[in-house]
Structure 1
Amino acid sequence: MATLTKQKIGGILARQGILIAFAIFMIAFTLASAKFLSVDNVFSVVRSSAILGVMALGVTFVVISGNLDLSVGSMMSFSTIVVLDLHDKIGPALAIPAMFAMTLCLGAIIGFLVGYLRLNSLIVTLGMLSAIHGLTLTYSGGQNMDIADKEGTWFSVFGQGSALGIPVPILIFVGLAAFLGVVLARTPFGRKVYAVGGNGTAATFSGIRRARIVFQCYLISSACVATAGLIQASRSLGSQNTVGQGLELEVLAAVILGGASLLGGSGTIFKTVIGVLILGFIQNGLLLLGLQFYVQFVVTWVIIILAVWLDIAAKRGKLLSPIA
């Protein structure tokens, strides 16, 4: 009986290790600061995490398919600058679809190189990171972008608006997470993504068009980046041309923190959302504790490594690798 109970507990830890780690962090910060779980603070954290979260949703598809996307930060800068620039030139109603189309083109290029030409995704997206950054600087002339008439535009609703008392960025994040979660978990396309990431060769022999699936995953990722760029541009109605610089590492950290494997074939949208929230609440908790920003960077990454380690240890049943 004791052995059976131990096995059940071990199974729960293996499946839900990251959720348990999240609960522990939340309890610790709640005890440290009375403001941590206030409604205003929770809304503030989720709202500020929405941009990172929307990007992470798309990257989840890419990682599960067995690839990487390090271009999302530069791509978000590009989409933000483009939609702000086109807002004053052709109006927001046309600027938004034009920006989405241009961002999807960038995703299609990456998808073609990785999916159809079978190039290494790390090399391709690392190269595209620099290329898109250069494209953004060229497009903007090295200048930051601002909307001329900030008071008379409905464009601000995506970043500053609210519905039923809930900020629109949160609604976009939650709605997109629910939709993509269903796509990944409940559709034939989602099963093909897992199959390609788990064993690409076996998936090909099973009749799955690997190149097409990888291509589509990068399109999904670029669409999510465009959505994040829209929220970012709408939030401040102006932006630096490097606004997304460095976000690719935070996005990847959130996806991996949520349990997705860099080897592909595993991960869920729900746990990616948990990974995003862990990052957001850790940073917020450290801020409430009054730590300097440079100390927060160190502590944040130590906590992330600890959470991932505990999750992996729970799955294998040992704190250290059996090989060590």
Structure 2
Amino acid sequence: MANLANKPILTILGKHGILIAFVVFMVIFALANSRFVSIGNLESVVRSSAILGVMALGVTFVVISGNLDLSVGSMMSFATIVVLDLHDQIGVTLAIPTMYLMVLALGGFIGYLVGYLRLNSLIVTLGMLSAIHGLTLMYSGGKNMDIADKSGTWFSFFGQGEVLGVPVPILLFVLLAAFLGILLARTPFGRKVYAVGGNPTAAIFSGVPRARTVFSCYLISAFCVATAGLMQASRSMGSQNTVGQGLELEVLAAVILGGASLLGGSGTIFKTVIGVLMLGFIQNGLLLMGYPFYVQFVITWIIIILAVWLDIAVKRGKFWASI
């Protein structure tokens, strides 16, 4: 009887838990510090979260398909260093598409290993994390990159520009989220992604091309990483060769907070956006309340554990496992 009583609560939490948690945190931080809800602070948090958010959009496809991508941090470092170097070598007009092609090639290689060769995505992307980091160091010669002439280029538009008063990083994040949200929720390809992640065997027998779908998910993830690298390079007009180090864990945390299951088959772009913003506002709120920056790591860990526990509880229909 207790399990039956818990099911309506689990259903509500499973569908709207992230939204409820987001509102609760916003109210708590707003009451703790009035500066939290100022327009300037809200815009600053969204803008600073845009790069992480763009990466999380692509990883959402990978996770829903039942796989992982731990290479996105190193890949973002690679994209940033490459586009900055090529900017001075061949000009900004050619540097951007060239960087995208190089990053898509890396994503396609990972997609081939996981999709067509059926290798474990955790092992593959963990290995690629180190390999791409090494590739970045080899490409840069172990040096950081800076644009030589920062005043004579329009490259800063992607990270520092505005369109009708809206910062370009926020605009790119919103537009990409809208496009990928429609792709995932309203197209046959999106249904294939859910099918492959939810039940791979049934998907294959239903005629869903598993290998091609997984391969495409990694290409989407690589495209998003390339976009994030472009935004990062444009914002700072220079970069360390380790700029993306550790971001893969933050990206995965945002996707999990958004309700995407590590078991595959569930998640939405909209909730990933909420997960990204939730991480950003939690970090900002804790700093405004006077807590040292390292406290946010503990709080984030606790929230992730709760999110994973809730996901498992919803699937088994009860809060606690049977002994």
TM-score by shorter chain over 0.5: yes
- 237-246 vs 309-318, which deviates more? 309-318
Letter in structure 2 aligned against 1:99: M
- Alignment coverage as a number of residue pairs: 320
Deviation at 1:312, TM superposition (A): 5.7
Per-residue displacement from partner, 1:149-196 (whole Å, max 9, x unpaired)? 111110000000111211100000000000000000000000000001
Shift of 1:299: 2.7
Distance 2:78 2:7 in 1: 50
2:75 matched to 1:72?
Answer: no
- Conserved 8 A contact 1:158-1:230: yes
Contact 1:115 1:212 in 2 (8 A): yes
Q: Give secondary structure in 2 for the equivalent of 1:119.
A: coil
| Runs of 4+ residues over 6 Å off in structure 1 | 5-9, 314-317
The question of whether the paired residues in 2 share the 8 Å contact of 1:15 and 1:315 is answered with no
Distance 1:6-1:321 versus aligned 2 partners, 3 A rule: closer
Q: Aligned pair in 2 of structure 1 residues 144, 167: CA closer, same or farther (>3 Å)?
A: same
Find out whether 1:58 has 2:58 as its counterpart: yes
Which residue in 2 is equivalent to 1:244? 244
The C-alpha deviation readout for 1:57-78, integer Å capped at 9, x for no partner, is: 0000000001000000000000
Distance 1:68 1:310, change over 3 A: closer
**Equivalent residues of 1:14, 1:315 under 8 A apart:** no
1:323 is matched by which residue type in structure 2? S
Pairing 1:33-48 to 2, within 5 Å after superposition: 33-48=33-48
Query: Who is 1:132 aligned against?
Result: 132
On the 8 A contact 1:58/1:225 being kept in 2, the answer is yes
In structure 2, how many angstroms separate the alpha carbons of the residues matched to 1:32 and 1:303? 19
Q: Distance in 2 between matches of 1:160 and 1:231?
A: 9
Are 1:321 and 2:320 counterparts? yes
Can you list the C-alpha shifts for 1:3-26, whole angstroms capped at 9, x where unaligned?
A: xx9976664333101110111111
Alpha-carbon distance between aligned partners in 2 of 1:68 and 1:14, rounded to the nearest angstrom: 22
Counterpart in 2 of 1:188? 188
Structure 1 unmatched runs, 5+: none
Q: Percent identity?
A: 79
Task: Check 1:307–1:122 CA distance in 2 against 1; reply closer, same or farther (3 A cut).
Answer: closer
Do 2:10 and 2:313's aligned partners in 1 also have CA atoms closer than 8 Å? no
Q: Is 1:297 paired with 2:297? A: yes
- Partner Cα separation in structure 2 for residue 210 and residue 303 of structure 1: 32
Distance in 1, matches of 2:131 and 2:321, equals: 42
1:243 is aligned with what amino acid?
V
- Whether the 8 Å CA contact 2:86–2:92 is kept in 1: the answer is yes
Please give the alpha-carbon distance, in whole angstroms, between the structure 1 residues aligned to 2:128 and 2:314: 37
- Return the alpha-carbon distance in structure 1 between the equivalents of residues 132 and 236 of structure 2: 22
Q: Does structure 2 conserve the Cα–Cα contact (< 8 Å) formed by 1:13 and 1:315?
A: no
Amino acid at match of 2:132: I
Against the structure 1 CA distance between its residues 289 and 211, is the aligned structure 2 distance closer, same or farther, given a 3 Å change threshold? same
- Cα distance per residue 1:275-314 (max 9 Å; x no partner): 1011000000011111112223223322443455456657
- C-alpha separation in 1, matches of 2:279 and 2:191: 28
Which amino acid in structure 1 is aligned with residue 54 of structure 2? V
Gaps of 5+ in 2: none
1-structure distance, mates of 2:10, 2:88: 58
TM-score, length basis structure 1: 0.94
2:218 is the counterpart of 1:210: no
Instruction: Specify the alignment match of 1:163 in structure 2.
Output: 163
Cα distance between partner residues in 2 of 1:137 and 1:10: 47
Task: Tell me whether 1:175 sits opposite 2:175 in the alignment.
Answer: yes
Summarize the Cα distance change of 1:164–1:315 in structure 2 as closer, same or farther, 3 Å threshold: farther
